[in-house]
């Protein structure tokens, strides 16, 4: 009877260890996915400034260069530079 109890406890502990290992591996994968998304969100304000500066430069080039303005019209890109007061 004691051998059966000992073996059942050993099997139960082994199963619990395997479950713990699989949950740890799952958690590690989830953490890396969350960190990747957090990095993207953290870069949002920087990307906004880059895109804003890029659009300003495109608008300035469209005002100065006729060929570039025609290229923008060809691809249906309407860019106007508004001066802030």
Same domain, 34 and 53: no
Averaged pLDDT, 50-78: 85
Same domain, 47 and 33: no
Residues comprising the chain, all counted: 85
Same domain, 52 and 37: no
Averaged pLDDT, 64-73: 86
Same domain, 9 and 30: yes
Give the total number of structural domains in the chain: 2
Q: For helices 44-64 and 2-42, what crossing angle results, to 10°? A: 30
User: Could you report the per-residue pLDDT of 21-37, keeping only the tens digit for each?
Assistant: 999 999 999 999 999 99
Domain extent for 48: 43-85
Averaged pLDDT, 56-66: 85
* Count of H-run helices and E-run strands, the chain: 3, 0
């Amino acid at each position: 009877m004691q051998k059966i109890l000992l073996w059942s406890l050993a099997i139960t502990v082994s199963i619990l260890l395997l479950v713990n290992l699989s949950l740890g591996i799952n958690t590690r994968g989830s953490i890396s996915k969350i960190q990747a998304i957090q990095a993207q969100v953290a870069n949002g304000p920087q990307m906004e400034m880059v895109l804003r500066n890029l659009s300003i430069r495109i608008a300035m080039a469209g005002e100065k260069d006729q060929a570039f303005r025609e290229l923008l019209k060809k691809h249906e890109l309407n860019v106007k530079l508004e001066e802030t007061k």
